[in-house]
Amino acid sequence: MKTFIMICSIMACTLIKAQTVQNFQLKNLENQTNSFSELRGEKLTLIDFWASWCKPCLKAIPELNKIYAEYESRGVKIIGINCDGPRSMAKVAPLSQSLQIKYPVLLDINSEVMNNLGLQAFPTLILVNFEGKIIWTHEGYVTGDLEIIISEIEKNLGNR
């Protein structure tokens, strides 16, 4: 019966669809406040939730730099949301500089945006369309994921 109740509660939840990114405001590495509406792409926005202690996150960053260089002019923006807590927040700016991150990095010390979206892993990449709807989510980063991200961007650019 307990299992049945659990399954029912999950099923009740899965009846519902659609996920939109609500506008949020966070400070950037320059100590200035930016909002999602200011930074979002004209067609697509790729948001990368990362932390300095997460190795796959750091592995993804040079690849995201490549995507940013290639797709920015095509209406695709990337936003990095760093979720380091107080313990390692101080390292984010020097690390970002060392990795030469080209796209804006925002600091979310309480992981509020990530929690609001129900994301539970680092790194998580979400692709947001021009309406603000999340059209693709990707957890983790391993070799070969670059091709998957590019293919998803291309597919959705074609749909616009």
Partner 1 sequence: MGRIWKMIFISCLLTIPCITLNAQVKGTNLIEYQYGELPGDTAALSTIYDRAVVNFYKKSFRASVALEQFYTRYENRNYLKLTQYSIQYQTDQLEVKIGNFYETIGRGVLLRSFEIPGAILEDLSYRSRHYFNHDILGFVAKYRYKNFTTKAMYGQPLNYVFPPSQDKKSRRPDIIEAVYSDYSFKGQTFGASALRLTNASGSKVYGMVTASGKINPVVSYYTEFAKNISNYAITDFSGQSPNAFYGNINLVFKKTGITAEYKKYTNFLLGSGINEPPALVKEYSYKLLNRSTHVLQPLNESGFQLEAYYTFKNLSTLTLNNTVAINDFGERYVFQEYFAEYDFTLSTKHDIKVFADYAEDPFTLEEHRISLGSLIEWRIFKVSNIKTEYEFQTFNRSGESVQNHVLTFGYAWKSKFICSLTGEYSNDPFITDGSSNKIWLGTNIKFQLNNENSIQLFAGQRRGGPACNAGICYEVLDFKGIEIRMTNRF
Beta carbon of residue 72, minimum distance to partner 1 (angstroms, whole number): 20
- Residue partners of 139: CB distance under 8 A and separation at least 6: 119, 121, 123, 124
Shortest distance, position 42 Cβ to partner 1, whole Å: 21
SS (H, E, C) 78-128: EEEEECCCCCCHHHHHHHHHHCCCCCCEEECCCCHHHHHCCCCCCCEEEEE
**What minimum distance in Å lies between the beta carbon of 1 and partner 1?**
7
**Closer Cβ to partner 1, 7 or 74, answer by number:** 7
Query: Residue 55 is which amino acid?
Result: K
Q: For partner 1, give the closer residue by CB, 78 or 101.
A: 101
Other C-beta atoms lying within 10 Å of the C-beta of residue 107: 17
Nearer to partner 1, 116 or 160 (CB): 116
- To the nearest whole angstrom, how small is the minimum distance from the Cβ of residue 25 to partner 1? 7
Closer residue to partner 1 (CB): 74 or 95: 95
